[in-house]
Structure 1
């Protein structure tokens, strides 16, 4: 007969020692808010990873956001999204004649691809201008 693993009321098993689990409480709401802010800035994947790094003194990165660079980041996000969209349209347009699509459908997809490429070029030009402006601001500080 095999011995069954006993389940504890809190979900632990007999094979999981008590010292392996840690639970903490932070009753002060100001401390809670400070900890939440630090966790969000840390870039840690989970709260557990963040607390473990803090307790063990491991190095971790701190992410800070600069509101003056928000427009810059927004433009780059648009460029990345459009680049992805153009890549998908290109793949579809290349595969279209070889599959169930007609030549007319492939031509429409290529026209869309050309339009998006022109928009992408304009956005890249704007991103270059924004980058130059931000570098100039950083140099004057």
Structure 2
């Protein structure tokens, strides 16, 4: 694929880290970049620097993803590139023991579900909506 100004891209998690680097790299080749991120301040700043568009978006929200794609497409047309970099992690032991009481506890499943909703379901949500 030739990367130039005839190509539009969406980068989830594009306000920082790998997403930001990807957005900057594509924009440097002339690609029209839409940044999907929850960090409005950083996302707006990066979008302005690269000549892109910022779309405030939580990938766990169907409505926010739909609105972000609508905004990105209104600005740049149909995306031909989607790079999913939105994600997070946590560092909690699978099981542990309280040193004082000896009580055991397991990884909180709500924390695990939160990670799955962002990193897995959110990624697939964006893939499905972009492919449509």
TM-score, length-scaled by structure 1: 0.30
Going by fraction, where is strand more abundant, 1 or 2? 2
Q: Return the structure number with greater relative CO, CA threshold 8 A, min gap 6.
A: 2
Going by fraction, where is helix more abundant, 1 or 2? 1
Considering only CA atoms, is the larger Rg found in Structure 1 or Structure 2? 1
